[in-house]
A and B are shown apart, each in its own frame.
Chain A
Amino acid sequence: MSAPGLSLGSLPLSRVPGVAVVLVALCAIFGVLSPGFTTPANIANILSQSTILLLLALPMTIIIMTEGIDLSIGAVLTFSSIVLAVTVIATGSVTLAFFTALAVGLCFGLANGALVALLDIPPFITTLGTLGIAQGLSLLVTDGQSVVGIPPAIEHIYSGTVAGIPLPVIVAALAYFATHALLYHTRFGTYVFALGGNREALRVAGISVRGMLIRVYAFGGVMAGFAALLMTARLNSAHPTAGIGMEFDAIAAVAVGGTSFERGNGWLLGTLLGVIAVGVLRNGLNLLAVPSSTQVACIGAMVIFALFIDGLRSEQ
């Protein structure tokens, strides 16, 4: 639906304040309310915890830029994590398990992309359907139980450090720079901007819109498989509900970061800040002993607040 009215602005720069205001406000509030918030250990903790979300939010940004959505990413993350755990327990090989998880993510991503691009099924319905499928498979494989008994080598992937920097932070930083390069310095990235903004131009230029869409969703699936490794390592187990709802955090981070749901305007740095904002909010609320279920409501309020600020700015 595109209709005149409250617009979210057209230039990425005009949206810096939305997410910046939110981030500064959150840090100020939690800095005052809970003494443990500003300790270096806690800040490192926030960064480590944000890494899994960043791996999901990066492809989500690109998918939303194509005027799509991936609601299945949390369920695919969960199923990949379960497959990873089951494989590593059965074979003992971390490498094999990791590539199996990537393959599971890729399959779901390709399925999403094929349904969206080849069958013209709207992305939110496609991914709602595959969400149900991934969730059903997770329950069927585990019978609703946790998968435990994972070798310690996997746990080290989350808890290990290189030169004092947590390993997951390094992984997330690499993923961020890779996605940044992909989006801003390759032809693929240019086409992504066109997919949301001017799909007709792509067609006229002879670029396969379908091929592009399939690649975009496949990227989301692979990243979910990647994130499954970090999540399994963090929890040292796999559980059929572990990643459920992660897509909400990812979409919230992208929305807070100022990527708009229309017209293909995306801003990857905004997503990074949005991920940190979600991480800060969850961490701060954890320190204040607010239950996880209520945190979701706070994240929603934060998104509405950020969209509101961006709306105000663009009206001026």
Chain B
Amino acid sequence: MSTFEQSAGRPHLALSRDMMQALYRLLAVALICVVLALLSDVFLTTNNVLNVLRQSALLFLMASGLTLVILTAGLDLSIGANVALSACLAASVIKVTGSPLLGVLTGIGCGFLIGLANGILVTALRIPSFIATYGMMWMLTGVTYYYMAGETIHGFPASFRQLGSGYLFGVPMPVYVMVLFLLIGGLFAQRTTWGQQIYAIGANPVAARLSGVPVERRLVLVYAMSGAMAGLASLIILARINSAQGDIGEDLTLPAVAAVLVGGTSLFGGSGTVAGTLIGALILTLVLNGMNLLQINSSWQPLVTGVIVLLAVWIDTRTRRIGE
């Protein structure tokens, strides 16, 4: 079993396997790009490339926190609804106080608290994570719709909007945020004790507990981090589209789950990387962007995303079976 070898201290073997997986996925990215470039004249325009980068940065931010959750063999289905509530609260705070900083703190704080609540439901009440976070999703959606009452909040200070629509050296700001969190997430998962404990919990929770890992506390941490990342993503969406509505986070969860799984993180926990999720986010964004460019009815998007999720998990289960 690959996960076992990783934790048993054979990093070279594990690294090369991860490298091979990453190479296959980068090949897939290249292939999709070639196909799209052939099919659409618009694909290779600067505008569209920047657009794809910005979109995948956003998807990556949500999916990076989710990656940690899935590494523990859990799932967070509440991130889309978390984005909606965090964005709406942050929007009101910015409107009322005029301070982008307070808005940013509100967005990330709200996301963090929601994640904390998820962690408590999963650990203290022992509700399976997919049910707890699925319930949380519906509850958050309810609260958001009640809070917004059909209203739209729009028009934010230019300094705040820089976060989503600004450029630095010709590269969209969200891309810098993405690179920052790719480094933070990668270092946290691979190079810290807590990160390694997260892998251990996912690979074998009983063994992790017996070797002294505080499983409950790490799980709460992981859900809180996933929530905080959703809060951060909500700010970038807010800054980009310059308005907040109750349905702002709709249709974001399934692509994020798909990005993590396509990125090679196993749904069964214990194996995967944050960097892989970046490639997954890129693949997902390219597919959805390509469908837009080819003017395919957007109703096809949830269907295609659903099929991609199923395919990714099927490949995952097959690989595991062969590995055993």
Contact = CB atoms under 8 A, between A and B. Distances in A.
A121 B146 CA distance: 36
Contact of B254 (A132, A143, A307): A132
Contacts of A130: 306, 310
A140 interface: yes
Interface residues on B, range: 35 or more
Contact of A122 (B134, B144, B300, B313): B313
B151 to A, nearest CB: 13
Interface in A298-316: 299-301, 303-304, 307-308, 311
B24 to A, nearest CB: 21
Contacts, number: 132
Interface string A229-264: 000000000000000010010011001000001100
Contacts of B317: 119-121
A278 B88 CA distance: 28
A218 B142 CA distance: 31
Is chain A's binding surface mostly helix, strand, loop or mixed?
A: helix
A297 interface: yes
A143 B134 CA distance: 27
Given A121-B313, A296-B142, A3 B306 contact: no
A69 B306 contact: no
A136 B303 contact: yes
A6 B126 contact: yes
A269 interface: no
Nearest to B320: A120
B206 interface: yes
Given A1-B73, A248-B138, A251-B131, A132 B257 contact: no
A101 B267 CA distance: 33
A172 interface: no
A294 interface: yes
A222 interface: no
Contacts of A255: 127, 131
Bin chain A's interface residue count: 35 or more
Given A6-B126, A125-B313, A300-B135, A294 B303 contact: no
Interface string A58-69: 000000000001
A136 B145 CA distance: 23
A308 B121 CA distance: 10
A5 interface: yes
A297 B85 CA distance: 13
B130 interface: yes
B209 interface: yes
Contacts of A80: none
A291 interface: yes
Nearest to B75: A124
B307 interface: yes
Interface string A122-133: 101110111111
B144 to A, nearest CB: 8
Contacts of A139: 299, 302
A69 B130 CA distance: 10
A245 B321 CA distance: 34
Given A128-B254, A133-B307, A311-B125, A295 B205 contact: no
A261 B131 contact: yes
A115 B313 CA distance: 10
A294 to B, nearest CB: 4
User: What's the dominant secondary structure at chain B's contact region?
Assistant: helix
B128 A133 contact: no
B305 interface: yes
A160 interface: no
Given A128-B309, A129-B310, A261 B142 contact: no
A122 B127 contact: no
B135 A252 contact: yes
Nearest to B306: A132
B303 A133 contact: yes
Given A128-B306, A296-B141, A140 B297 contact: yes
A150 interface: no
A135 interface: yes
B124 A6 contact: yes
Contacts of B303: 132-133, 135-137, 140
A70 B150 CA distance: 31
A293 interface: yes
Contacts of B167: none
A111 to B, nearest CB: 10
Contacts of B187: none
Contact of A124 (B127, B130, B135): B130
A245 B306 contact: no
A294 B142 contact: yes
A144 interface: yes
Nearest to B128: A261
Contacts of A308: 125
B27 interface: no
A71 interface: yes
A97 interface: no
B145 A248 contact: no
B139 interface: yes
Given A121-B314, A126-B313, 10 more contacts: A3-B215, A8-B126, A121-B317, A130-B306, A136-B302, A248-B134, A293-B141, A307-B125, A307-B127, A311-B125
17 contacts: A121-B314, A122-B267, A124-B75, A124-B130, A128-B254, A132-B309, A140-B297, A262-B126, A262-B128, A293-B141, A293-B142, A294-B143, A295-B142, A296-B139, A296-B141, A304-B125, A307-B125
A-B pairs with lowest CB-CB distance, top 7: A132-B306, A136-B303, A293-B145, A139-B299, A296-B142, A300-B139, A297-B142
